[in-house]
Amino acid sequence: MPSFFFAPSTPPASSTKLFAFIRVIRGSLSLPFMQDQLSALLDKAAAEFPALNARPEFETAKARYVGPHGELTALMKQMGALPKEQKPIAGKLINEAKGRLQVHLDAALARIAAAELAAQLGPAIDPTLPSIDAGPGTRHPLTLVREEMCRILRKVGFTIADGPEVETEYYCFDALNTPVHHPARDEKDTFYFPANARFGNVSKKVPTEKYLLRTHTSSVQIRTMLKGSPPIRIVSPGRVYRRDTTDATHSANFHQLECLYADKGVTVRDLKALLDYIFASLLGKDTKTRFRPHYFGYTEPSFEVDLTATHLPKVKKPWIEIGGCGMVDPTVFAEVGYDPEVWTGYAFGMGLERLAMLLYGIDDIRYFYQNDLRFLKQFA
Ligand code: DAH
């Protein structure tokens, strides 16, 4: 017999078919032969799979058994060559073998997955031990500026007032004498909530008005005046929202600081003196302010405030716009039930980011929100 006809007991996958063919020709393909093949294959799998430690090795090994050119696949294909009456028995044998092989595959995969997870989790920890000291955190530059401004204003009698970031049209616009068709109220500029949105903790003045994300902190003026009676002297820092596209100087959410003083006999001179005082305190005594006439519905007269602070790093422009201000409009006082014949007042609002950028020489507003420790640690 030529050596070619000596089939090894477990022929390599690629040649299994050929041997089967030869056996059929020689009439030697039989159930016992298939049984031998299957049990040899299972013995091999039982030895091989427990030794595998990584997913790629596992996949390669698995393919060698059940892939399109796998050994078990090849044995299944041989079934067709068996006499008809033996096929059901062979099918049963193969199914049993498949089931037993699957047990090896599942066990190996579970072991590998557990090892992968353990590697991801790192060394075991004892959760009963005290945690490692991460060291003290640092204050965010916006927090530093906010706290400093509040400290400066508290020194001259202002108290801190707060208001919700979700607001209603009444407090954000109507009560501030900002009519329905004012551009600031446009859907393009303001984030409105759907008409059916409900916020149990934000009171509405008018049941039909919509909720929105406040576009400025001026809404706190109204909430504060409605709650109390004059004289009032408040500062209200907080987050505000506008539908702006983000770039180096714009962000869809940023922070403002609002001040309101309502009393008898308040004048523009008082307003100018206070602004001079706070900017000189924050940015240095060489800082000066100037007013430019402007229009805001809630103040009359109204101004934009510029400041000059060329002694600060990165300040190149001689005058920098920093906020808006004016004398509280009589219609606003009337709206909150303060007699405009008796009460006078001033109000102003400004961006905290702009102040922090000036103070620290930051040239891109996006740094504030990126949580990059390399940036934040500079303010420690
Ligand atoms: N709310 C204005 C803004 O967001 C700033 C402002 C202007 C606030 C005049 C005021 C004010 O209190 O009186 O641009």
Asked if 149 and 110 sit in the same domain, the reply is no
Asked if 78 and 173 sit in the same domain, the reply is no
Task: Tell whether the model's pLDDT for residue 1 goes beyond 90.
Answer: no
C-beta 173 within 6 A of ligand 1: no
C-beta 218 within 6 A of ligand 1: yes
Q: Which residue in this structure is represented by tokens 């090795």?
A: 57
Question: Which of the listed residues 87, 121, 155 is the one where a domain comes to its end?
Answer: 121
* Lowest mean pLDDT, pick from 16-30, 111-125, 325-339: 16-30
Express each pLDDT in 90-124 by its tens digit. Answer: 899 999 999 999 999 999 999 999 999 999 999 88
Task: Tell whether the model's pLDDT for residue 15 goes beyond 70.
Answer: no
Asked if 35 and 176 sit in the same domain, the reply is no
Asked if 159 and 84 sit in the same domain, the reply is no
Express each pLDDT in 235-265 by its tens digit. Answer: 999 999 999 999 999 999 999 999 999 999 9
Q: Quick one: which atom of ligand 1 is closest to the CA of 260?
A: 12
In a domain, residue 136? The reply is no
Reported as a pLDDT band with limits 50, 70 and 90, residue 125 is confident
Asked if 243 and 370 sit in the same domain, the reply is yes
Task: Tell whether the model's pLDDT for residue 131 goes beyond 60.
Answer: yes
Integer angstrom CA distances of residue 191 from 121, 168, 215, 244: 42, 11, 8, 10
Reported as a pLDDT band with limits 50, 70 and 90, residue 362 is very high
Specify the pLDDT at position 304: 98
Nearest alpha carbon to residue 347 among 243, 242, 290, 270: 270
Asked if 106 and 192 sit in the same domain, the reply is no
* Rounded distance between C-alpha atoms, residue 374 and residue 233, angstroms: 38
User: How distant is the alpha carbon of residue 258 from its chain centre?
Assistant: 27
Task: Tell whether the model's pLDDT for residue 10 goes beyond 90.
Answer: no
C-beta 351 within 6 A of ligand 1: no
Express each pLDDT in 266-280 by its tens digit. Answer: 999 999 999 999 999
Specify the pLDDT at position 136: 83
Asked if 278 and 367 sit in the same domain, the reply is yes
Q: Which residues does 191 contact at the CB level (< 8 Å), separation at least 6?
A: 212, 213, 241, 242, 243
Specify the pLDDT at position 82: 85
Task: Tell whether the model's pLDDT for residue 316 goes beyond 90.
Answer: no
CATH classification of the domain holding 246: 3.30.930.10
In a domain, residue 146? The reply is yes
pLDDT, mean of residues 60-75: 93
- Test site for ligand 1: of 296, 333, 344, 354, most ligand atoms within 8 A of the Cβ: 296
Asked if 249 and 155 sit in the same domain, the reply is yes
- Give the total number of structural domains in the chain: 2
Main-chain phi, psi angles of 153, to 5 degrees: -75, -30
Express each pLDDT in 175-205 by its tens digit. Answer: 999 999 999 899 999 999 999 999 999 999 8
Integer angstrom CA distances of residue 13 from 9, 112, 216, 246, 286: 12, 26, 74, 61, 88
Reported as a pLDDT band with limits 50, 70 and 90, residue 78 is confident
How many helices (H) and strands (E) in the chain?
Answer: 12, 9
In a domain, residue 288? The reply is yes
Distance 348 CA to ligand 1 centre (A): 5
CB contact at 8 A, 327 and 293: no
Q: Quick one: which atom of ligand 1 is closest to the CA of 258?
A: 12
* Rounded distance between C-alpha atoms, residue 355 and residue 362, angstroms: 10
For 189, the domain range is 141-379
Specify the pLDDT at position 29: 66
In a domain, residue 354? The reply is yes
Specify the pLDDT at position 31: 84
Handedness of CA 312, 315, 317, 321 (dihedral sign): negative
Distance 316 CA to ligand 1 centre (A): 25
Task: Tell whether the model's pLDDT for residue 160 goes beyond 80.
Answer: yes
Distance 323 CA to ligand 1 centre (A): 7
pLDDT, mean of residues 3-23: 48
Specify the pLDDT at position 290: 97
* Rounded distance between C-alpha atoms, residue 349 and residue 253, angstroms: 16
In a domain, residue 7? The reply is no
* Rounded distance between C-alpha atoms, residue 160 and residue 235, angstroms: 5
What dihedral angle (degrees, nearest 10) is formed by the CA atoms of 282, 286, 292, 298? 20
Question: Which of the listed residues 121, 150, 171 is the one where a domain comes to its end?
Answer: 121
Asked if 154 and 60 sit in the same domain, the reply is no
In a domain, residue 57? The reply is yes
Asked if 157 and 95 sit in the same domain, the reply is no
Asked if 198 and 148 sit in the same domain, the reply is yes
Which tokens hold the place of 311?
């002694």
Which tokens hold the place of 169?
């049209």
Inter-residue long-range contacts of 150-158, CB under 8 Å, 24+ positions, other chains counted:
150/235, 150/237, 152/277, 152/278, 152/281, 152/282, 153/235, 153/259, 153/278, 154/235, 156/274, 156/277, 157/233, 158/233, 158/234, 158/235, 158/259, 158/261
In a domain, residue 243? The reply is yes
Distance 329 CA to ligand 1 centre (A): 12
Distance 249 CA to ligand 1 centre (A): 18
Asked if 229 and 82 sit in the same domain, the reply is no
Question: Which of the listed residues 121, 156, 188 is the one where a domain comes to its end?
Answer: 121
By DSSP bridging, strand 166-168 and strand 211-213 are antiparallel
Reported as a pLDDT band with limits 50, 70 and 90, residue 18 is low
| pTM of structure | 0.68
Reported as a pLDDT band with limits 50, 70 and 90, residue 375 is very high
In a domain, residue 206? The reply is yes
Specify the pLDDT at position 34: 87
Task: Tell whether the model's pLDDT for residue 25 goes beyond 50.
Answer: no
Q: Which residues does 218 contact at the CB level (< 8 Å), separation at least 6?
A: 172, 176, 258, 298, 347, 349
* Rounded distance between C-alpha atoms, residue 56 and residue 48, angstroms: 14
- Give me the percent of the chain exceeding a pLDDT of 70: 92
